[in-house]
Chain A
C-alpha cells in the first residue's frame, strides 16, 4: 500500500505532509505529558525495529497457497497506545522509504497518513472501545480483526483519493475504488489474524504489556475519543472539499499554474529567436525526418525534437561518464 513519489502530485503530497505533521506534533505533545515518556522512547525505537523486521516474515495463510504480511499499525498501538505507536510507525516508514524504496520522500506524508494514522489512531479507538469493560481473549480477537480491516479500508480509500487528486491515472473513481477496496479487505483480514494471534500470545504470557491493561479508563478518555472523531470529521470534509474543487476546475490545475508562473509564453518567443539563428546549422546537421505531433504538440508539451535532443544529451553524458569511469579505474590501478 506504499505510495510511490510518482503517484502523488506536490500539492497532494504537501497537504498530506501537513495533515500527518499535525498528527505527529499532537502525538509528541501527548507523549511528553506521559509520566515515563523517556522510558517509552526506548520501547518505541525497539518496537519500530521489531515491526520492521516482522514485516519481512511470510505468514502462510491457512487453506490457500499464498502468504501474507504484517503492516503493524494496529499491533503497535495495542502495545504502545496511539501516540507512541504513531510516532514509531513514522520512523518505520521513513526507514522503508530511504532504504528500501517503499514509498518516497514526497509521498511519505501520504504514507504516514494512510498507514500509520488510521492504524494507530482509529485502531486504538476501536481497541479502547471494545476493552472498556475489561479485557479478554475474545475481545482482543474482535478488536484486532475489526481494527485491521477498518483501518486498511480507510487507508486504501485514502490511497484512491490521493492518487486521483494527483491526476496521474485515467481510471474513474468508481473503478479504482472497486479495484482497491476488496483487495485490502483480504489484506486487512490477514493483518487482523496475525495481530490477534500475537496479541493473544502476549495476553497469556505478559498481559501487563498491553496498552491500557493496568489503568482503568478515565473519564477524560471519552473526551479524547470525541476529539479524535472531530478531527477526523474535519479532515474528511477538507479532503472531500478538495476533491470536488479540483474535479470541477482544471484537472491539471497545478501543473497549469506552475507553467503560468514560469512564464512559458515568454520562453517561447525567446526560443523562436534562437530557432531563426540556428536555422542554417540545422539544414546541414539534420539527419532525421521531420516528425511532429499534430496540432496537439504545443498543448501537451511533448515534442519529438525535444525527446531527440534529450536523448542526444543523455547519450553524451553517459559517454562522458563512462570515459571518466575508465579513467578513474586506471588511476586506481596506477595508485595500487
Chain B
C-alpha cells in the first residue's frame, strides 16, 4: 500500500522543510497564515469568467516560490486528486454554457470553457498556496498561529496530538499490512473477514496507548490550558513581508495591471 509510505514521506518532507533556514521560514507564522488566507479569499472570489485575474493570481505563487526557493514538484501528486474532482465538476460548464465569445483559429471559445478553466486554475492555485504555507511553516508553528487567533486550546492540543501520533500509527498500519500481504499475496486490499479483527485490534491497542499517554501527561501535570508553545515576536522582516504581500495581492487582484502590460504588445 503505497499510500501509507507516501503519507509518511509527506509528513517527513514537510517537517524537514519547515525546519530549513530559509527567509520564508523565519517569517512569523501568523503573518504567513493570514497572507495565505487572504490569497485564497481573493482567489475564490474572482468571477468565474474572469480568466485574466485568475491567471494573474499565479504571480503571487511565483514570487513566493522565488523568495522561498520552493518547488512545486512535491505538490504535483496532491494536485492530481483534486484535479480529478474539479474536472468532474467543471466538465458540465462547457457543455451547458455555450455562449461563444471568440474564435482561436476556427475553434470557438465559449463562456463555459472559460469558467471551467478558471475553476481548475483556482483549484490548482489554492492548493499550491496552502502547500507553500505548510512547507515553510510546519505544524507546530501553525498551531502557534492558531493559538494567537484564539482558537480554543483543546482543539489545538488535539491537533498537536494527532499530528504527533500520525507517524506512529501509520507505521503500525504499515506493519499490519505487510504481515497481512505476505500471507495473502494476491489481494489488493484487506479481505472483509479480516476487517473487524485487524482494524478493531489496532483500535483497541490505540486506546490502550492513549491511556498510557494520559498517565505520562498526568505525571507531568497536563492541562490543555497550559499546553504551551515557544513565544515568537513579530519582527520587522515579518511586518515588511506582510505589507509587501498584501500590496502585491491587492494589485494583482484588483488592478488590471496585466491588461496594461498586454496592451503594450497587442494592438
Contact = CB atoms under 8 A, between A and B. Distances in A.
A267 B126 contact: no
A71 interface: no
Contacts of B185: none
Secondary structure at the B interface, as helix, strand, loop or mixed, is helix
Interface residues of A, number: 121
Given A106-B126, A294-B102, A67 B188 contact: yes
A171 B170 CA distance: 39
Given A91-B159, A171-B96, A50 B202 contact: yes
A197 B43 CA distance: 43
Contacts of A170: 92-93, 95-97, 112, 115
Contact of B207 (A38, A43, A58, A98): A43
A31 B154 contact: yes
B267 A283 contact: yes
A278 B207 contact: no
Contacts of A104: 40, 126-127, 130
A311 B164 CA distance: 43
A20 to B, nearest CB: 11
B210 A87 contact: no
A275 B177 CA distance: 65
Contacts of A285: 264-265
A46 B262 contact: no
Contacts of A238: none
A268 to B, nearest CB: 9
A27 to B, nearest CB: 9
B92 A198 contact: no
A275 B267 CA distance: 11
Given A48-B162, A106-B37, 12 more contacts: A5-B40, A43-B214, A67-B188, A91-B159, A99-B11, A101-B79, A101-B130, A102-B81, A105-B40, A170-B95, A255-B46, A310-B56
Interface of B: 1, 3-4, 7, 10-11, 14, 36-37, 40-41, 43-53, 55-56, 58-59, 62-63, 65-66, 69, 75, 78-79, 81-82, 85-86, 89-90, 92-93, 95-97, 99, 101-102, 111-112, 114-115, 119-120, 122-123, 126-127, 130-131, 133-134, 139, 142, 152, 154-155, 157-166, 168-170, 172-173, 177, 187-192, 195-197, 199-204, 206-207, 209-211, 213-214, 217-218, 222-224, 254-267
